[in-house]
Amino acid sequence: MRTPPTDREHGDAAGSPGRGSAAPVPVPVPTPAPDPTPTARTSLPGNALAPSAARRFVRSVLTGWNTHAVTTDDATLLVSELVTNAVVHAGTSVDLECRLDPARGGNLVVEVTDHHPARQFRARPRCPSDDRPGPRPTDLRGDAPPDGAPDGTPHGAHSGQGLRLVAELAETWGTAYRRTDKTVWFHLPAQPGPRDADTLCEHALLRDLDAAEALAPGVPPVPLLATARRSAERGHHRALSFLAEASELLAGQFDEDTVAALATQLAVPRLADWCAVWLDDTTTPGAPRPVPRLSHVWHAHETLVEPLRHALLRTPPALPAAGRAVPWPYPPDTPGPAAPPGPSNNGNKGSNGKHGTALACRLVAGGRGIGTLLLGRSGPAAPVMGGDVTALTEDFSRRVAQALASARQYTRQATISRILQRGLLPRGVARIPGVDRAVVYEPRGDASAGGDFYDIFGAGSGSGRWCFALGDVCGSGPEAAVTTGHVRPWLRLLAKEGYGVAAVLDRLNRMLADEAAEAEPGTGGPGFLSLLYGELVPGDDGVRCTLASAGHPLPLLLRPDGSVRPVAAPQMLLGVVDHVGYGSETFTLAPGDTLLCVTDGVTERKHGNRLFDDGDGLATALAGCVGLGAEDVAHRIRHAVHGFAPAPPDDDLALLVLHAT
């Protein structure tokens, strides 16, 4: 509660003509006090010219202080009313003070004081409309005029609306009584927060409406029109905010059950006490039409989620694909103290004796129904969901339906892509006698398969030969996948036909050239290919390895003594030139030797301007793997590649490790 103002000396800028005199009153001269608390005071005569002089004084002071125009208008209106009130009821001179209060964020404080000595003190009542200190509706001026007052207004008469205006427009206000005077004070924000022009205009119009309603004769104590208007605007704003939030959360979700779960939790408790989403299951074999599947249920009381789910499963909804929210009947045996309604459109009572209402809305996207949304309000006094709730439910349902349709489309495409890409990778890798092997394969991003590929397979039953390949198609996306789909079967076919390593590369190169020549113009055809291809033949003294590199990072051989060296010569990419004579190299993998083959996703891993293989970085990492098996070597090299830079790899990553045991 505010401490009553202290007694102070009042400057009399306007003079003090006799009571009731209509002599001209000069414009009071503001006398602002020095910062940090700017203050201006004046005294006004108790006659009919005092209100106009007070208005000019306040405007002059606030213009000098550069206060906001809205604040100036409100302060001028309130001061005019309070000075009029003091002159009419007290009939004395009036003291007026304006100041900026730094303790309240620079708020404007205005005090209007009259000096009638015979006023009987009484406690200030409470305003019934907003529970703030204020006048009674039947005593809006706040005081009965003293005996001999000019107007002779009887105590308790409805004679004005001045303090109603203060209650409506001021941030805070109050009245202080002393033996010789009475002060009415109020606070206004001197600098409202930044707003655009439209917002300022709307703000001013609403405040003008408040003032007009307070001044209108016979208006009830609460300004119903302004309150209803502001309530409607706030409701509209909340609805738009809810829909915007729903759109943002639902957008980009790629799983339809996740969308359903988000939808139910968005709707509860903002729209209803509980919510459920059914999805049309089109995968049920033999079903003549989509079968509704209860995807997600949510209740404001989590303990009632499962009872609600069991009750809803008894009666799946059956609605036409209209996309309109309609009242929905519900079985009467719903369990729980705050359960959904029974089988009636408007607040039916179930067997548990509880009332409730429900709305069902078909989820429609692209003209096709994909599910149903059900909302319910429970309890003995559950209100019927009116037009506003129905309209908001329909808007919300359209957003949920669109998110579900997008999630289904993504799932369908991802499934097709995953099935097709699964065929680009081997179903498994062959076991080679005397050789431990390990593979690391990481496509870039979320892809199931990329431009890199690998394979380990037997060259034919009884041949005693095993082949391995690690390749990288130039490019990415479907075009690279098409080339990968060609190359792997060709490699297996050529190897099983008995062709050696160099001959396989020669023929594969011609096949790629032929495919490119036969491709339609503009389709691109098979791309270039880097390939490391080798053949293993286990023997008594080790494993004989023959390999060739066509435009691929050279394989590295790690000896048990820690030495590392490349074991192939660089050659031309496959698919660039029609006729190239590829060669191969042969060496022995002795027990304890390790052969490391990688794609350029390893050697060209970037961190700023540096690459992982700068300064023989890959050979250095491999040298630290002496004594490790194939799996451990693969894990350590992968860890080194990932740890080289904080950002995730921006290329496919593949490596193949062969360790002679």
The answer to whether residue 90 sits within a structural domain is: yes
- Whether 27 is covered by a domain: the verdict is no
Write 390-396 long-range contacts (CB < 8 A, 24+). Answer: 390/325, 390/359, 392/239, 392/242, 392/243, 392/271, 393/271, 393/325, 393/359, 393/361, 394/323, 394/324, 394/325, 394/361, 395/239, 395/243, 396/242, 396/243, 396/246, 396/263, 396/266, 396/267, 396/271
Q: Which of 161, 180, 209 is the last residue of a domain?
A: 209
Q: Give the CATH number for residue 76.
A: 3.30.565.10
Q: Do 462 and 377 have their domain in common?
A: no
Phi, psi angles (nearest 5°) of residue 472: -145, 115
Asked whether residue 185 falls in the same domain as residue 76, the answer is yes
Other beta carbons within 10 angstroms of residue 322's beta carbon come to 11
Q: Are residues 372 and 467 in the same domain?
A: no
pLDDT above 60 (res 96): yes
Q: Does residue 11 belong to any structural domain of this protein?
A: no
- Across the chain, mean pLDDT equals 77
Same domain membership, residue 651 and residue 505: yes
Comparing 514 with 587, the larger pLDDT belongs to 587
| Contacts of residue 55, Cβ cutoff 8 Å, sequence gap at least 6 | 76, 79, 80
Whole-model pTM: value is 0.51
**Beta strand spans in 264-324 (E):** 274-281, 291-299
Lowest mean pLDDT among 144-153, 282-291, 450-459: 144-153
Q: What is the pLDDT of residue 523?
A: 55
Preceding amide of 526 cis, omega within 30: no
Residues 408 and 511 in one domain: no
Chain segment 630-660, per-residue pLDDT in tens: 999 999 999 999 999 998 888 888 999 999 9
Which of 150, 183, 146, 180 has its CA nearest to residue 166?
183
* E-state strands within 349-486: 356-365, 368-378, 435-442, 452-458, 466-473
> Greater confidence, 116 or 78?
78
Reported as half-sphere exposure (CB side, CA atoms, 13 A), residue 516 has a value of 17
302 — pLDDT class (breaks 50, 70, 90)? confident
Q: What share of the chain is helix, strand, coil (3-state, %, to 5)?
A: 35, 25, 45
Where b means 16+ CB within 10 Å and e means fewer, 608-623 reads: eeebbbeeebbbebbe
Say what the pLDDT of residue 117 is: 76
In a domain? residue 87: yes
Strand partners, 365: 368
What pLDDT score was predicted for residue 486?
79
Residues 301-313, mean pLDDT to the nearest whole number:
87
Do residues 612 and 641 lie in contact, with contact meaning Cβ atoms separated by under 8 Å?
yes
Residue with tokens 């009415």: 184
Indicate whether 403 belongs to any domain: yes
* Judgement on whether residues 465 and 600 belong to the same structural domain of the protein: yes
How far, in Å, CA of 245 to CA of 236, rounded? 14
Q: What is the Cα Rg of the chain in Å?
A: 43
In a domain, residue 497? The reply is yes
In a 3-state reduction of DSSP, which class is residue 60? helix
The verdict on 412 and 438 lying in the same domain is no
Task: Give counts: helices (H), strands (E), the chain.
Answer: 13, 22
Let me know whether 404 and 440 are in one domain.
no
What beta strand segments (E) does 8-104 contain?
Answer: 39-44, 94-101
Q: Which of 361, 385, 418 is the last residue of a domain?
A: 418
Cβ pair 566, 532 in contact under 8 A = no
SS3 call for 199: helix
Shared domain check, 503 and 593? yes
Residue 17 pLDDT exceeds 60: no
> In terms of pLDDT, which residue wins out, 625 or 449?
625
pLDDT of 6 > 80? The answer is: no
* Domain with 52 in it: 39-209
Q: Is the pLDDT assigned to residue 169 strictly greater than 70?
A: yes
94, 205, 448, 467 from 445: Cα distances, Å: 78, 55, 9, 29
- Separation CA 270–CA 395 (nearest Å): 14
pLDDT band at 29 (very low <50, low <70, confident <90, very high): low
Residue 572 inside a domain? The answer is: yes
Residues β-bridged to residue 535:
467, 546
| Number of domains, the chain | 3
Q: Residues with Cβ < 8 Å from 101, sequence gap 6 or more?
A: 37, 107, 108, 109, 187
Whether residue 129 is contained in a domain is answered as yes
CATH label of the domain that carries residue 336 = 3.30.450.40
Strand partners, 598: 655
How far is the C-alpha of 39 from the C-alpha of 99, rounded, in Å? 4
- Do 273 and 335 lie in a common domain? yes
Q: Are residues 346 and 473 in the same domain?
A: no
Whole-angstrom Cα distance, residue 283 to residue 412?
Answer: 12
Question: How buried is 302 (Cβ within 10 angstroms: 0-12 exposed, 13-18 middle, 19+ buried)?
Answer: exposed
**Among all chains, which residue has been given the structure tokens 């409470």?**
126
Q: Are residues 361 and 455 in the same domain?
A: no
Which of 452, 446, 480 is closest to 656 using CA atoms?
452
Closest-CA residue to 162 (of 192, 129, 186): 186
